[in-house]
Amino acid sequence: MSLNCKISKGLSASCTPTVAGVLRLAIANWDESYTFTQSSGSCEIDTIDLGTEKVYQIDIADGSGVATSTGTIGGNNSSKYHMHTVSGLIQKLDCDSLDQYNNLFLGRFIVFVETRNHDVLLFGMDNGLTASAFEYQTGTSEGDATGISFTFDGAEPNAPLKIADWSVVRALM
């Protein structure tokens, strides 16, 4: 996907407040053959083709999800990339989640995030994200979070893609 790298518009303030945090998260195995298309004149992806792959929703503890993209410049401006990071806490530990534990830790993924203000973003499109932290924890005292704390991250050439809405992701499940 080619990008227009020249600034062509200003950025205006929003009149409505935005709400922090991740509303929901879904994940799919990464593959370079996936296609992401947008309608003419739109900046949002409205069609995704993952071939035979599916997207799987991951239920995370409320308030535990964070998704970031940090622009980084290497020496002499020679390498510019975005570090995509998605983290959270999976609280439901049943046979299915424990069975997938190693797969989540060892795989390479694309991650769909819907924020609490209903922006839907895709992280890891070009290279995929891998687990840089994956830890089962019981907590140390009453009220501590129990479950699998995870962080998926990876260097990408572009900022996360904006998806039209969650229905585009839901259609892939």
pLDDT of residue 129: 97
pLDDT in tens, 79-98: 789 999 999 998 877 777 77
| Rounded Cα distance, 152 and 130, in Å | 5
Q: Nearest CA to 53 among 94, 101, 109?
A: 109
Greater pLDDT, 90 or 171: 171
Residue 60 in this model has a pLDDT that exceeds 70: yes
| Rounded Cα distance, 4 and 130, in Å | 28
Q: Is 38 helix (H, G, I), strand (E, B) or coil?
A: strand
Mean pLDDT, the chain, rounded, equals: 85
Phi first, then psi, for residue 136 (nearest 5°) are -85, 130
User: What does the block give as tokens for 70?
Assistant: 């940090």
Residue 119 in this model has a pLDDT that exceeds 90: yes
pLDDT band at 18 (very low <50, low <70, confident <90, very high): low
pLDDT in tens, 145-165: 788 889 999 999 999 999 999
Strand partners, 48: 36
Greater pLDDT, 43 or 107: 107
